[in-house]
Structure 1
Amino acid sequence: MNIEDIETICDSFPAVTKDIKWEEHLCFNVGGKMFLITAPDAYPPTASFKVNPEEFEELASRDGFKPAPHLARYKWIYISDISLFTKKEWEHYARQSYNMVVEKLPNKLKATLGL
């Protein structure tokens, strides 16, 4: 897996936008809210994403994973190398993070975005 693969997965979701934050992080957003943060210029590339509470502890205990700095209280996980996940795992976790963020968007905004 590489950043372009993750970008392709995220671009397949409705109403996704991308921007650069903190000068070096490619962020994927929906409704102005981040659902996946990558560091494409890091070696190896890293990422952070939101997970459900049931998976948070299990993922955080795996080698190469930890609670995301500054975002752990919101159940975000940091992965030290994006290649630690398969394409299927990225499809699952990116979609799950996206869906969790969409669920919290105001109904009016969801309607405006066609969600």
Structure 2
Amino acid sequence: MTPQALHALAMALPGASHVVQWGGSDVYKVGGRIFAIRGLGGGVSFKASDIAYAAMVESGMARPAPYLARAKWLAMEDLDAIDPEDMKGWLASAHSLVAARLTRAQRKTLGLA
């Protein structure tokens, strides 16, 4: 998967926005809250459900994301090795998990309600 493909998948989600932060990392947000990050090292980190987090860490598909593991974030170091269809699902899930924590008014404004 290319960085451009990741960007396209993330931005296709409703209410998604993109900013460059922390010295050049691509940060994807919904309602001002982060759901995915493509870091300078070429990897990607994203929010996961409790079950997906446990399964992906246990299977070795991903590792706990530095500084964000306690919030059930996963890190995958090699973007090139990720199947785009899998990433599409993981990003949609991350987006949904983060959007669910927005206020009802924010979700309505973003067209998510």
TM-score, normalised by the number of residues in structure 2:
0.92
Of residues 68, 72, 75, the one that matches 1:71 is: 68
Partner SS state of residue 104, structure 1: coil
What displacement does 1:112 show?
1.4
Q: Which deviations, in whole Å up to 9, do the C-alpha atoms of 1:59-115 show, x marking residues without a partner?
A: 113446210011111100010111232011001100000011111100011111121
Of residues 77, 93, 100, the one that matches 1:103 is: 100
Q: Output the CA distance in 2 between the equivalents of 1:108 and 1:70.
A: 30
Percent identity over the alignment is: 23
- After the TM superposition, which residues 1-115 of structure 1 pair with which residues of structure 2 at under 5 Å, given as runs? 1-39=1-39, 41-42=40-41, 45-63=42-60, 65-115=62-112
Mean Cα displacement is larger for which, 83-92 or 30-39? 83-92
Q: Which runs of 5+ in 1 are unaligned?
A: none
Residue identity in the other structure for 2:96: N
Partner SS state of residue 48, structure 1: strand
Q: Output the CA distance in 2 between the equivalents of 1:98 and 1:79.
A: 17
Aligned CA distance change for structure 1 residues 62 and 84 (closer, same or farther; 3 Å): farther
TM-score, normalised by the number of residues in structure 1:
0.90
Q: Output the CA distance in 1 between the equivalents of 2:60 and 2:2.
A: 19
Residue identity in the other structure for 1:21: Q
